Amino acid sequence: MSLDEKLFEIKRKWIPVYFILLIGLIILAIHFILMAYFTNNQDYASFSLLTLVAAGYIGYNLSKFLNTIISKYTTVKLLTCKKCGYSNEDKNVDKEDYVMKEDGICPKCGGKMIIEGIYRIEEKTKPSLLELFGLKKKIRNRFK
């Protein structure tokens, strides 16, 4: 498990706790508001305000968790034809590949292709709610 994965796993464990806390605080705030309305007691109004502030803080943190963006990387090699200059990105990068290595035949002119570059392309994805709550275990594969 990479460092990013482990950090995300640690954060992810807190999502259900934050979610339950948020719901609890909202219920409590509604309760205090209703009590303040029906009893005209100033203390209940103060309690409801404090509870709403706490709910806001928890909600803000939860929204940060829910907006987590995961990067997925794909390594590709850029093949260029020595003769006609045709180029394409190939996802089949072998351990033996290196830049400036001759690799295959050009599909257009039949000339020799050369590896012009090897690099990774980043793709940013947002995990679904099910994945964040641990009900769907696809997150780990996204890092690969």
Partner 1 sequence: MDGQGIVNTIMTLFLLLIFAYISQELQIWKMVSEIEAYLSIFRTARDHALGVTSNTFKKLLPKSNSSRKIEYEKIKNIDERIQELVDLTIIEPVNLDPYGIVKKIKHIILVTEKTVENEIKIILPNIKKSEIKNLTNLIDATRILNFIYKFLDHNYRIARKFKSLWLLMQIYALLPFITQEVKALENAIEAFNKGLPVGDSVGPLVASKLIKKYSGFENIDTPVEDTVITRVNIDNREIYIVKAQGPGGTTGRLDDAIEWLFNNIGKKFSMIITVDAALKFEGEKSGTITQGFGVAIGGTGVEKFNIEEIASKHNIPLYAILIKMSEIEALSILTKDLYEATEKALNIIERVIRERSVEHDKIILVGVGNTIGIYP
We find the least distance from the C-beta atom of residue 29 to partner 1, in angstroms, to be 25
Cα separation, 86 vs 55, whole angstroms: 58
Whole-angstrom distance, CA of residue 61 vs CA of residue 144: 27
Q: Is 70 in the site for partner 1 (CB under 8 A)?
A: no
Q: Do the beta carbons of residue 22 and residue 58 sit within 8 Å?
A: yes
Confirm or reject binding of residue 6 to partner 1 (CB under 8 A).
yes
Distance, CA of 23 to CA of 36 (rounded, Å): 20
* Relative orientation angle of helices 42-66 and 3-39, to the nearest 10 degrees: 160
Q: How many residues contact partner 1, by CB under 8 A?
A: 24
Task: Compute the least distance from the CB of residue 106 to partner 1, in Å.
Answer: 17
Distance, CA of 45 to CA of 19 (rounded, Å):
24
Q: Is position 46 an interface residue for partner 1 (rule: CB under 8 A)?
A: no
Report the amino acid identity of residue 32.
F
The residue (of 45 and 118) whose beta carbon lies closer to partner 1 is 118
Nearer to partner 1, 53 or 99 (CB): 99
x/- binding map, residues 95-134, to partner 1, per CB under 8 A? xxxxxxx---------------xxxxxx------------
CA–CA dist 8, 119 (Å, integer): 25
Residues that bind partner 1 in the complex, under the rule CB under 8 A: 1-4, 6-7, 10, 73, 75, 78, 93, 95-101, 117-122
